[in-house]
Structure 1
Amino acid sequence: MSVLSGKKVLLGVSGGIAAYKTASLVRLFIKAGAHVQVIMTPASKDFVTPLTLSTLSKNPVHSSFFNQDDENEKWNNHVELGLWADLMVVAPATANTLSKMAYGNCDNLLIATYLSAKCPVYFAPAMDLDMYKHPSTISSFKALHQFGNTIIPAESGELASGLSGEGRMAEPENIIAFLEADLESKLPLKGKKILITAGPTYEAIDPVRFIGNHSSGKMGFDIANAAAQLGASVVLVAGPTRFKATNANVKVINVITAQEMYDACHDYFNDVDVAIAAAAVADYRPKTVATQKIKKAPDNFVVELEKTKDILASLGAIKQKQFLIGFALETENEIENAKGKIQKKNLDLIVLNSLQDLGAGFGQPTNKVTFIDKNFKIEPMELKSKEAVADDILNKVIAYFNE
């Protein structure tokens, strides 16, 4: 999966012959899974039509502050566009547009949006050889670099003037590759290995019956997918669940029983930087598993249980460099019980759920958690989607590595 997947990309197109390549560029953004909106300067419409880019981006193309042919048309809000984007790409970036970006000459919608953007900005210069090397253009490059903008280097080759040399806008495929490499290098969990557990375990009574719980596994899968999006290499040990990993950087190990989850976790734990135990592991299992289906008894039926191995405590006992996060689902004395688990299991952080909170617990799309760290600092959170809770958990991981 491309790091551009799900990203909101604002593409600024200025008036150079290379604008014709933006049709291919938009297609490649869409293929990578990005959401694209396009802003065109008035001059760029001489080289590629708004209809083409609108059709390919599946969004209206913006080129002016308002539609002069419709007095009832609302204005195009450049601030709103700038805040919408996860990244802005100006391609082609002509000498004229680069100068306006560098010195704030705000005479069109593209420049107004650029000046309002809060996201990373990339620009792909496109101009003739002498223009590319002119001191004024180099001055624009330096100014934009000081602003924190990133140049996508021009390529060498035949130019529109007939000359051959540096100044060609990078090919669309190379722009995409540049963006992916740059974004990946800046991901906060790049190079980190994370072990995550998810879902329930099923402990067999006989070939058709088991002891289990209502955990769906969604929380663990949301954490795994979000961690991979942030650059981590993830091993997800998952009990029986309907959820699937959506990122190629998530390696799923499917298990059924607590013992299988225990074994899988110990197979990978020594090699990871972080372990997040989000699974709802059975505390007990039948001491004896019948080989045939047990027939209905006329009276009471008794199943003798024995304890399963405590996966989280076993990892805490052997941890060295790992940042270890556990979950606690409580119904009473929540804070004190969670603090006890931190000490008993040698955790760095615990994520406390209470079944007393509306919207929290198994089978819900939302969760309401309280973070408690090993120093017993307590941080209650609001009710959020499980995806948002996953982001909060990973922000704790990022903060740990940035200390």
Structure 2
Amino acid sequence: MLENFFKYIDEKEVKKNGNFYKIKIKGDSLGGQAMNDLAMSAKYIIYHEINEKIRIEIEAKIISDLATIVVFEYIIYLLLKYSNCSVYIRFRPSILKYTQSFIDGSIVGDFINSNQSFILKRKDYIHNFESEAPYTNLHRYRKLIKNDKDVNKKINKVSTDAYNFLQNQLNDEAYIEDCVEVIGELCSNATEHTKEDCILTIECGYGLNEKEQKKNILSIVVSNVSENLFYQNILHANEQGKIKVEYLDKAKQNHGHHFGEIVSDEYSIRYDEEYFYMVSAFQKGVSSRLDQSDTGGTGLLKIIYNILGKTDDNFCYILTSNKVLFLIEEFIQPKDKTFIGFNEENDYLSAIPAKKSLGKSYMSFGGTIFSLNLISDKEKNDE
């Protein structure tokens, strides 16, 4: 995991301040930029074998989303696992605005708040991160799924656990069943396409929207660290002629005319072959599971599309390396049960994705993260 996680991360020197090394994470929001800064510093400490006291100070007032905390947990795990330094983390301010629930009850949150000696805290953190036993409380469920011969049975068990967890949080049975189906599909996708372990994290909490109205937020994150990024298996399989769908090469030829074009000035995004294969992964018949050439990714998006229709708002995306594909309701409606365009025209074959569908992260994640943030009226789930 160590090499894959840091594969696309640069190092940032950490200087000694008195009797400890200090990492200061600036900015009001704990998100991609903050995680990139922390990852660069952690990589420097690990690879330069610094085994002294490390103090991490975070200035953020809010947390961007649950996926940020998932990445945070990976970074602290690697720091504790592969160095002998003593790690102390402090949030300034100590109370986060609106998004406290993202970190309360998490592995990293419990590490920060623990009064145990550091030796015990390190041991507990590593154990909790690596354990297949669910790490759960009233509003959070986290489960490591190890990718072995019993992985399908494990995913079935996780789906049952997720159903029971969500029943204690939500009142809409159809909504719960759709969410559980998505969770099973995402976990299967993560384990089958990369052959690596994955982590499922679910959080039910509250936050304020732009109008300062209190909303229910259900966050579902499936993550894995792997040398195979989300699009790579499909790219390589197509180059080797192992994907037997006629339209893929035609679509690539059409999209290829736009490779190199700037599609977003805000993020300086240039459309390229990697974005094309991210989108292609969701078309019927396109799969990196080479023994199942008649299957494809439209099924997963159909379920997600159904869920989005039951929310008041949502923020959903796939992150692989630093590339982001946003799952926007109006752009992922399946067309003729075959194509999903990720654009206004819903045209995969000849039109590239809409600007709003493509993003670029400040941090390059050495693997893939599926992040679903589903927002609804608080009253609907408290009836």
Q: Note whether the superposition's TM-score is higher than 0.5.
A: no
TM-score computed with the length of structure 2 as normaliser: 0.28
TM-score computed with the length of structure 1 as normaliser: 0.27
More contact order relative to length (CA 8 Å, sep ≥ 6) = 2
